[in-house]
Amino acid sequence: MTDSKPDFETLAIHAGAQPDPATGARATPIYATTSFVFDDVDHAASLFNLQTTGFMYSRIMNPTVAVLEERLAALEGGRGATGCASGHSAQVLALFPLLSTGDEFVASNKLYGGSITQFGQTFKKFGWTVKFVDPDDMDAVRRAVDEKTKAVFTECLANPGGVVVDIEAMAKIAHAANCPLIVDNTLATPYLLRPMEWGADIVVHSTTKFLSGTGTTIGGAVIDSGKFDWAKAGKFPDLAGPCAAYHGLTFFETFGDLAYTMHCHAVGLRDLGPTMSPFGAWITLLGVETLALRMDRHCANAARVAEFLTGHKAVAWVNYAGLPANKYNRLAKKYLPKGAGAVFTFGLKGGYQAGIRMVEGVNMLSHLANIGDSKSLIIHPASTTHRQLTEAQQIAAGAGPDVIRLSIGLESAKDIIADLDQALNRAAGN
């Protein structure tokens, strides 16, 4: 026997799960129940007072979801996790313990278009203010972070793809201001990158994407490193101060390195209610079991497709960090040695109209608003996912009028390339 830590592939299959104690079922059951029976009145009171752990109501915690939470925490190298209804709800939950009305946070301007809208428009209703900044310019990030900043948020491998962010440098800037760094790791997954190893404090996922892997269920997750000192500098009263809803309990004092995760469950899920369904968690668990195998194939196919596109006469440019000439290749070698992911962008010489013709010309690839599927996907962001943004915002986010985003799937690379080739020729009018 050995005491060494299990490898990633083993954790992806076993972390958080045991045979069902009631039946011996080896696969994690779907606990499709709203509620759980208390042993007695004292047991119920201790659960509601957070004096003991256990299940009381599935909006706050469910056994199937708990297995997924423990597995994702293990894969990311975190202390605890919170499953939720979507990637967007994960972003709300991640910031909810940190921000109050009038507070500010800094975010990369190279984010998924829906995130830019959520941060810049919807969060105004909460009284939260965002400062968008170019993550390619660390001096600009440093200038944006000040005494009012409560968090710094970035995608590490940014959607719509191709942008690699220097997480280590951004973490140093955030920590110098006593702020946590929150990293969206959806596109890389913990198989390609574990942001906490480079200084990230909190990781969020849209589990809808590569973690589930088949485009069958919506979900999100928030994973905490357990390493941030929430009492330092007095910036986070929801975590380091008394909570009126729990009779003055202080989360950081009571739960230590699990304070943030406990708050996400006991306050965030309780009051905001963006709960992950047991069935959604179960589907995602199935996907996570094959994550390592799938990501290897995703990355290998994407590299071949990117190389093909660089030589096509209808293509103006390709932004794939795995290409040696790419501006992010140095960072990709540092942070993504197993592969530069499967989502990236390229530009068409014909601009916006060529982009429309391109997505309408594919046969095998699916034109839809998702990524991380086993099937190869294509979209023209300027006319879909990023259409709410101004053209300047689109260009800043890497989603200008000429941009096509690809999410390369698990089909034969030869067949993917053949479909793209005929659609490119059609877009160019050949």
**Close Cβ partners of 114 (under 8 Å, ≥ 6 residues apart):** 88, 385
Q: How far apart are CA 122 and CA 418, in angstroms?
A: 41
Element (H, E) at 353: helix 351-361
Tens digit of each residue's pLDDT (9 = 90 or more) over 287-304: 999 999 999 999 999 999
Give the global pTM: 0.95
Give the model's pLDDT for residue 2: 53
Largest CA distance in the chain: 76
130: tokens are 């965002």
User: Are residues 173 and 138 in contact, defined by beta-carbon separation less than 8 angstroms?
Assistant: yes
How confident is the prediction for the chain on average, in pLDDT?
95
Residue owning tokens 């710094």? 152
Tens digit of each residue's pLDDT (9 = 90 or more) over 277-287: 999 999 999 99
Tallying the residues shown for the chain, one arrives at 430
Q: How far apart are CA 276 and CA 260, in angstroms?
A: 18
Q: Domains of the chain (ranges plus CATH)?
A: 8-287 (3.40.640.10), 291-427 (3.90.1150.10)
Tens digit of each residue's pLDDT (9 = 90 or more) over 45-64: 999 999 999 999 999 999 99
